[in-house]
């Protein structure tokens, strides 16, 4: 239980920046790819620095960028919940409490890190409910932005490229759907929708490891083939 709750909190920490940045149309980054090469990471960071600079410049007089109210509302309610949890947990582990977020402050990560780093078995159930809700909220907000987006990856099971899409399914499940002719083994599938395998967005980290492993295997096989041919 404790590990699952921590994993949920870490997921929210991981996607926090995407959530907060996606509230301003035009600064939306593509959905995070499972692996980034050092060069790609550098390019992304450079881009982020430029965007940050532009935003600061903008805020100095020009009309402010339109803000997606729904995403901002989500981020704020998560921030409040994270601050509440941190304030509850800190005294129980003799950890100094963090100051509450100030005006204009939109970073829940320090509070979430405090909770994740000090979570005891005893508090896991209580925190777990909120953590699940947070994952759900972040996934839902990101889905507003990313719904329908095709992911530029090769499915490890059907080996087709560009067949994974982010979808909001009936019942509000935010998920990645493989639209290929795809039949992964049962233990690897979250659920099915219209005959297609579906993975809830919260499984993305696990899923990306599969993609990465399949990529590495292919690279290895290609190398072997070249070796045999020579």
Contacts with Zn ion by CB under 5 A lie at 155, 157-158, 178, 180, 182
Q: Which residues contact 99 (CB under 8 A, 6 or more apart)?
A: none
Q: Position of tokens 């990560």?
A: 109
CA-wise closest residue to 149 among 175, 180, 170, 129: 175
Q: Minimum CB separation from Zn ion for residue 72, in Å?
A: 35
Total count of residues recorded for the chain:
230
A 10 A CB-CB count for 119 gives 23
**CA 50 vs CA 42, 43, 44, 47: distances in Å:** 12, 11, 10, 5
Q: How far is the CB of 179 from Zn ion (least distance, A)?
A: 8
Q: Of the two residues 81 and 176, which places its CB atom closer to Zn ion in the complex?
A: 176
Nearest approach, Cβ of residue 161 and Zn ion (Å): 10
Q: Which run of H or of E encompasses 54?
A: helix 38-59
Cβ closest to Zn ion, residue 8 vs residue 154: 154
User: Is 39 or 186 the residue whose CB approaches Zn ion more closely?
Assistant: 186
Question: What are 184's two structure tokens?
Answer: 């992964």
| Rounded Cα–Cα distance for residues 152 and 161 (Å) | 7
Distance CA 10, CA 14 (A): 6
Shortest gap between Cβ of 37 and Zn ion (angstroms)?
A: 24
How far apart CA 80 and CA 163 sit, in angstroms, is 37
Among residues 127 and 182, whose Cβ is nearest to Zn ion?
182
Rounded to a whole number of angstroms, the minimum distance from the CB of residue 210 to Zn ion is 11
Nearer Cβ to Zn ion, position 135 or 178? 178
Identify any residues that bridge with 166 across adjacent strands, giving them in sequence order: 176
Is the Cβ of residue 96 or residue 148 nearer to Zn ion in the bound state? 148
Shortest Å distance, C-beta 151 to Zn ion: 11
């Amino acid at each position: 239980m404790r590990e699952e709750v921590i994993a949920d909190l870490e997921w929210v920490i991981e996607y926090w920046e995407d959530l907060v940045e996606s509230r301003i149309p035009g600064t939306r980054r593509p959905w995070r790819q499972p692996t980034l090469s050092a060069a790609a990471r550098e390019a992304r960071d450079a881009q982020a620095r430029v965007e940050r600079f532009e935003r600061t410049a903008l805020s100095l007089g020009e009309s402010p960028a339109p803000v997606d109210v729904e995403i901002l509302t989500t981020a704020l309610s998560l921030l409040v919940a994270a601050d509440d949890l941190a304030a509850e947990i800190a005294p129980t582990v003799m950890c100094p409490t963090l100051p509450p977020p100030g005006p204009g402050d939109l970073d829940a990560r320090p509070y979430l890190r405090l909770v994740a780093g000090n979570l005891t078995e005893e508090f896991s159930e209580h925190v777990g409910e909120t953590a699940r809700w947070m994952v759900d909220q972040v996934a839902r907000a990101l889905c507003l932005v990313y719904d329908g987006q095709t992911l530029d990856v090769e499915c490890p099971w059907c080996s087709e490229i560009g067949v994974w899409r982010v979808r909001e399914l009936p019942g509000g499940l935010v998920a990645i759907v493989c639209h290929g002719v795809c039949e992964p083994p049962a233990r690897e599938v979250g659920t099915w929708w219209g005959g297609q395998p579906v993975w809830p967005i919260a499984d993305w980290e696990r899923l990306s490891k599969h993609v990465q492993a399949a990529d590495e295997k292919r690279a290895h096989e290609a190398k072997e083939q070249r070796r045999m041919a020579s």
